[in-house]
Structure 1
Amino acid sequence: MTAWSDTPPPAATQPVVLVVDDSLETLRMLGDALVAEGYVVLAARDAQEALDRFEVAIPDGVLLDAVMPGMDGFDLCQRIKSTPAWSHVPVLFMTGLSDSEPLLRGFASGGVDYVVKPLRIPEVMARLATHVRNARVARLAQEAVDVAGLGTVVLDSLGRLAWRSPQAMVWLGQAFGADAAGQAQATHWLAAARREGTAQADGAQGRLLARHLGQGSLGESMLLLSLTPLNTAAAQRLREVALTPRETEVLSWLAKGKTNRDIADILGMSHRTVNKHLEHVFEKLGVETRAAAAAIAGRLLPQE
Structure 2
Amino acid sequence: MTRTILDDYLTLSAEPPPRPLASRPVVLIVDDMPDNLALLSDALDESGHIVLVATDGASAIQRLGYITPDLILLDAVMPGLDGFETCRRIKLLASAAHVPVVFMTGLTETEHVVRGFQVGGIDYVTKPIQPLEIVARVAAHIKTARMMSQARDVIDAAAHAVIVLGIDGAPLWQTGKASFWLEKYFPRSDQRKLPPQLQFWLNENLVLLRQTQQPLQPLVINGDDGELTINLSKNTQSAELTLLLEEKSLVLPNAVQLEGYRLTPRETDVLAWVSKGKTNRDIAEILGMSPRTVNKHLEHIYIKLGVETRAAAAALAISRQYGTPATLQ
Q: How high is the TM-score relative to the length of structure 2? A: 0.42
Greater share of helix residues, 1 or 2? Answer: 1
